[in-house]
A and B are shown apart, each in its own frame.
Chain A
Amino acid sequence: MIFRIMAGLAAFALPFSAMAQEKVLKAVMHADVRVIDPIWTTQTIANIHGALVYDTLFGNDADQKPQPQMVGKYEISPDRLTYTFTLRDGLKFHDGSPVTSKDAIASIKRWGAKDGVGQRLMGFVTALDAVDDKTFKMVLREPYGMVLESLGKTGSSIAAIMREKDAQTDPQQQVKESIGSGPYIFAKDQWVPGSKAVYLKNKDYVPRTEAPSSFAGAKIPGVDRIELIWISDPQTAMSALVNGEIDFYENPNTDFLPLLAKAKGVKLMKTGVIDSTQGMIRLNHLHPPFNNVKARQAMYYLVNQEDFLRAIVGDPKYYRVCPGLLTCGGPYENDGGTAFFKEYNPKKALQLLKEAGYNGEPITILATTDHNTITPATQVLIQAMREAGINVDVQSMDWGSVVSRRAKKEPPAQGGWNIFITTSGGVGTANPVLHTWIGAACDKGLFGWPCDPEIEKLRNAFGMASSEDERKKIAKELQTKAMEQVVYIPFGQWDTPLAYRADRIDGIVPNTGLAVLWGITKK
């Protein structure tokens, strides 16, 4: 009897399984897609989403050289003050409407109002006007060396081109729809926040013809459907990959790398040429005690990078001690200001803090509970601070709440904070202009709000420098100043290779920091 029912059910289920013939990429990212506006937030996951759905005018290639992406041809005036862009043919939004200059201009303006790199660029821009439907002009106040690099940026937030009406949304508000012109279409009706986001192949997408390299070159949608599945537990995600339940796992925990390396069908892949992640301890410059530079510098005595890296990564093969702010192994690595780092000495730290006026007040640290690198790093810092005898007020919360709370400028007692820890992508941190966390633009800067005009000046100078030697010199100066001001304390850098089922998928485009999924094909 029971068997008969089961047989009946099986027959009923058959047509469904036949439907499942379409090629589906099941990928687990480091986070869950909750916000669908890549401009509104710097969250990496929102930008992975954005990179699938939206296209960009330029795309930096693996060597961080900008290449035209949506732009067909462009001209730079000899005085390097006027840029004329012409969109290539065949660009259409997912709702069928063509991409026009107006869309591009509105999008750049919104991005330029919100994103750190964009703000810097827009600081130079005096006019941004449409010439015709496909052509528009950008006029600068003075020459700026990073125009195309900024537009082709491969880290958060990308300069995504939206429909004009979406781009006119207040940058402080999220766009409600996620309609772009990129290689994949966001299936909003199938989106289950907290569980999965679904993308369907954009059949009308016209890719470029060049070979893909990071954000540059052809973006060929390789599968019919991409499912970004959210598995919060890294072990579960790893097991799911080993078991073949998913195809792609963006950030396996380094502890699992030996297991993954052994697993049949699974391959590991380095995401880019330099280490993908740098750890950062961010202090709040607005409130005591860290409004005093002496107090900030005292914290250097509490950071032994090796301790942090061991706790996060474990295997020394995958991490690197790097006392500088600009990525070690990157083009602008230097030793400027690294002398601020001292031997681990909690007593000394407390003494210096006291000298800076600290008197045992609680120091509020935002401790995320659900992040596989930030959580352990925070624990290590708390331990060190406690050892020093600092009164630590630990606020445990999930990462999303940290992201919300770190934006609060109020004093810690009124919902603000003193310390939080975050990480940033290696490409971004390698370049002083793209590296927004190194900035010190006061209120306009990133959370923590370091404030030092000198630093900002140096960053501008870097952007306008004409030679590589000059850039390197400015970079060193900048790092020294930033280390002195303690814009943040780095605690090392590491790389997490991505893991995927080599027996099932192919065509992964490596890109440090922001996973690129469009090229992946399924066997």
Chain B
Amino acid sequence: MSAPVLQVDGLVKHFPILGGLLQRRVGEVRAVDGVSFAIAKGETLGLVGESGCGKSTIGKTVLKLIEPTAGRILLGGEDVTKLKPGAMWQHRRHIQTIFQDPYSSMNPRLAAGTIVGEPLENYGITRGGETSERVAQLFQRVGLRPDAMRKYAHEFSGGQRQRLGIAKALSVNPELIVADEPVSALDVSVQAQVLNLLIDLQEEYGLAYLFISHDLAVMRHISHRIAVMYLGRIVELATKRTLFTQPLHPYTEALLSAATAPDPRRRRTRKRIVQGDVPSPARPPPGCHFHTRCPYAIAECKVTAPPLIEVAPGHHVACLRRPVGGGPQPLSVSG
């Protein structure tokens, strides 16, 4: 089997907190705290979690838009962790991105065609008239009229801008696209259009996606495998089917129980299993980060950080109460 498109080993990203008389580092936000995963060609890996869990930071770090604190990032088997911007440039063609906010991720002073064609020029793939031909094709492919190339970003609707973003990402034929909440700013009906487009493109070009979202339903729709994150760590990683049918981590369970569904009959039957707020990533609780809200927590959870263990083939979980082969039985609340 060929090397994964993207492999991340023990990725750490800490943001310093400055304070005191001399503005020295007095602490750090542990945005990403030892995360490992890999994405195969043509696969969608979903990163799901609540705000502040570090999922967007991972996205930016693997794109090398921010430098990791520790860990390794391998693109197509090549270690790019330490590469300087100049050297990284070679690799950027293979890893593209779609941003969350379709409004601020387009230069307001450039025409749509210029924005989409920019990577083509940058890598010298096409020149002059060729570029605009290719851009026209891309427009067509993502469902925009080619004559819209001359318009500016603000003249497009939110969904159309996401299409522009996709076209731009697509232009250099990347192997991986990092999609950071690409549909969360869109209305339901438009969201469906964009999700369908993403799936079509993946199947057509064999793209891999690192798909970042807080929305379980969207995640379930688009991903092959899903990693659930909580306060900078992956707490569970499994195929979509396994995760939704046999969630093993209490936090995954909590997320599923909290999600609403368009079915009025479900409302009285569900039980919400978590209370309270997510702690600050600047001061994460010791041991298992989730112990403060976990109904099943035991004393050990406050001390020991559970490792991410493969409990079943392809199913990883980080919970002290889920030993290897622990299976999908429900946990019980214990003293």
Q: Do chains A and B touch in the complex (CB under 8 A)?
A: no
Q: Give chain A's interface residues, CB within 8 Å of chain B.
A: none
